[in-house]
Amino acid sequence: MITNKKPRSSDTDSNYMRDDRTEMSEDDDRSPPSDSIANGSCPTRTCTPGSGSGSGSSSIPEYSAPYPDRVLENVLENVLWFLTSRKDRNAASLVCRSWYRVEAMTRSDLFIGNCYAVSPERATSRFTRVRSVTLKGKPRFADFNLMPPNWGAHFAPWVSATAKAYPWLEKIHLKRMSVTDDDLALLAESFSGFKELVLVCCDGFGTSGLAAVASKCRQLKVLDLIESEVSDDEVDWIMCFPDTETCLESLIFDCVECLVDFDVLERLVVRSPSLKKLRLNRFVSIGQLYRLMVRAPQLTHLGTGSFSPSEDVAQGELELDYVSAFAACKSLVCLSGFREIVPDCLPAIYPVCANLTSLNFSYANISAEQLKPIISNCHKLQTFWVLDSICDEGLQAVATTCKELRELRVFPFDPREDIEGPVSEVGLQAISEGCRKLQSILYFCQRMTNAAVIAMSKNCPDLVIFRLCIMGRQRPDHVTGEPMDEGFGAIVMNCKKLTRLAVSGLLTDTAFAYIGKYGKIVRTLSVAFAGDSDMGLKYVLEGCPRLQKLEIRDSPFGDTALLSGLHHYYNMRFLWMSACRLSHQGCQQIAQALPHLVVEVIKHEDTVHMDDYADTLYMYRSLAGRRHDVPQFVSIL
């Protein structure tokens, strides 16, 4: 439906949804539809000094109940220790003022699903003992070139506020945030005991910022850069890690598109005896990978880099015993990378296949014949990402062996609409028959049938996530010529645990009627090029009470459909509608009717000038009101 912002082919304007290859799920949030915007887990019962300092501002303040019922509040504090889900903690905070106060004081993990949903000052004043912060910024469609650059989601106000409020902070996880080198420098200087930085689909920073983190965060355990855009400032950030033994447990930099000094990297790996996760970028050759594996046989997660010889390959690199190197990594359970794979090198991984629970071939252009010797030994595999180059035959091999499979993602090697795709309903049906424990699937194809989708709904009733992306606009069941309504209807009827759904192909309002009638726990719905009329969206908005995230593009929904959801928008995290039939007047009506909802109308430079319709509507709930960093192409109504 929508292609990734980093397409494989020169066709950068493909019209299909392609999920970003990240590890922070869009459905991690299990919070109820309330205006509690931060959710936590694992609160700390007693005051613990910051890791880098035992006194002063680096220590978490001791909690002391200010009321006569201190005994009761201390008991409550011990009870809240056992509430680890954000949903449960939100519910507890709504019981009464005392519970609200104690829950805030015992929260150690702060989750903000939309960085504009609350101001940093409000969040830090309520939650005063936080050790870990997770922030999400731009909506998911930013990954697919549907949001203009420089829209916002700046990390700067958040790092400034947390530096003052939480000098003992240990962890920061960011997704789709705009991060600068100055932000990373302030982070590195402010948190003396900082241990974990994860940047997923972030941009705006470079190797200079990474160097500041590496040099100043002496207790750093995790530095994960996942699908982020990192500029090359010609700074050797790997060299900035301490010369002494490090605390590193995870180092992921496969998205960094610049050379690293391999000798420096090798010495860093040697100085990191606790290192368990290492994912290398494409500039690391298979010969260099061999040297690292020999140095770090304790690895459990490995991203292989290019998995091909270097351009100026020496004869010795060709003669290395790669099979023995992999065989020595007896703890390896997760394998990814293969950025510029040479298929002749694949037999090297055979010794670890039997132990793998996760295998990512989403960058490896391999055939079914090359896959079969590998997958035939992967009996423990639970997560598998792959390109459609393996064809239906490869998926049949997966179905034969991988009986424990829980998650499958099949990406297109060539995302163009006008080609004959190598996977079809044949592969999907084989997976449904062979992998009956499947819980999540993302499946790109060029042709599909209702019968295959119905079979999956019956064979895999535990599905929580079902995303079927039929590339090519409004393609029907390629056997019967009928719309795909019955297939998607069967999914929402038979998969009682379904919370995330992406629909594609030729769909009428009947499909949306099924979703509204049976999708009672669906939280995230993605729609592209689908629907007959406003009734389709109306069915969804009136029938899906737990809907949190709704993203729609190029569909015939207008003002009537938009206004039908007035009763529900305050309970949703966001609504995105682009290239639909929304008038500026209709968007204004929403803003007037729901004053506590932020209604943004985004203008795209490359769109045809149409005064009657809004290019993109993005609206979200917020306790902070209108944001202060609005670019010129955004109008907040």
CA gap 238, 272 in Å, rounded: 13
63 confidence band (pLDDT: 50, 70, 90): low
Pair 249, 275: CB distance under 8 Å? yes
Whole-model pTM over 0.75: yes
In Å, how far are 125, 285, 321, 348, 349 from 290, measured between CA atoms? 50, 9, 8, 11, 12
pLDDT digits (tens, 9 = 90+) for 281-305: 999 999 999 999 999 999 999 999 9
Strands (E), 93-216: 109-112, 132-136, 171-175, 196-200, 205-206
Of 558, 577, 565, which Cα lies nearest the Cα of 540? 565
CA gap 589, 562 in Å, rounded: 10
Q: Which helix (H) or strand (E) holds 269?
A: helix 262-270
416 confidence band (pLDDT: 50, 70, 90): confident
Q: What is the pLDDT of residue 144?
A: 83
Q: Give the mean model confidence (pLDDT) for residues 88-94.
A: 86
Q: What is the pLDDT of residue 314?
A: 53
Q: What is the pLDDT of residue 67?
A: 52
Q: Give the mean model confidence (pLDDT) for residues 243-248.
A: 95
Mean pLDDT lowest among 45-59, 151-165, 323-337, 600-614: 45-59
Percent of all residues in the chain with a pLDDT value above 90, rounded to a whole number: 73
Q: Going from the N-terminus, what domains does the chain have, and what CATH number goes with each?
A: 69-102 (1.20.1280.50)
Instruction: Reply yes or no on whether the pLDDT at 498 is more than 60.
Output: yes
Q: What is the pLDDT of residue 418?
A: 74
DSSP tag of 2: B
Q: What is the pLDDT of residue 262?
A: 95
CA gap 313, 285 in Å, rounded: 9
Show the tokens assigned to 511: 């499909």
9 confidence band (pLDDT: 50, 70, 90): very low
Q: What is the pLDDT of residue 66?
A: 52
Q: What is the pLDDT of residue 523?
A: 97
Contacts of 172 by beta carbon, 8 Å cutoff, 6+ apart:
132, 133, 134, 135, 162, 187, 194, 196, 197, 198
Give burial (CB, 10 Å; 0-12/13-18/19+) of 354: exposed
Mean pLDDT lowest among 61-70, 401-410, 620-629: 61-70
Instruction: Reply yes or no on whether the pLDDT at 558 is more than 80.
Output: yes
Instruction: Reply yes or no on whether the pLDDT at 216 is more than 60.
Output: yes
Instruction: Reply yes or no on whether the pLDDT at 81 is more than 80.
Output: no
Q: What is the pLDDT of residue 611?
A: 62
pLDDT digits (tens, 9 = 90+) for 249-291: 999 999 999 999 999 999 999 999 999 999 999 999 999 999 9
Q: What is the pLDDT of residue 313?
A: 59
Q: Give the mean model confidence (pLDDT) for residues 234-263.
A: 95
82 compared with 351, residue with greater pLDDT: 351
541 confidence band (pLDDT: 50, 70, 90): very high
pLDDT digits (tens, 9 = 90+) for 179-194: 999 999 999 999 999 9
For residue 263, the one-letter residue type is D
Pair 108, 616: CB distance under 8 Å? no
pLDDT digits (tens, 9 = 90+) for 112-151: 999 999 999 999 999 999 999 999 999 988 888 888 989 9
124 compared with 613, residue with greater pLDDT: 124
Instruction: Reply yes or no on whether the pLDDT at 381 is more than 60.
Output: yes
Q: Give the mean model confidence (pLDDT) for residues 310-332.
A: 80
Of 544, 549, 596, which Cα lies nearest the Cα of 570? 596
49 confidence band (pLDDT: 50, 70, 90): very low
Q: What is the pLDDT of residue 605?
A: 74
**Helix, coil or strand: residue 384:** strand
- Chain mean pLDDT for the chain: 88
65 compared with 631, residue with greater pLDDT: 631
Mean pLDDT lowest among 60-69, 179-188, 440-449, 572-581: 60-69
Instruction: Reply yes or no on whether the pLDDT at 380 is more than 90.
Output: yes
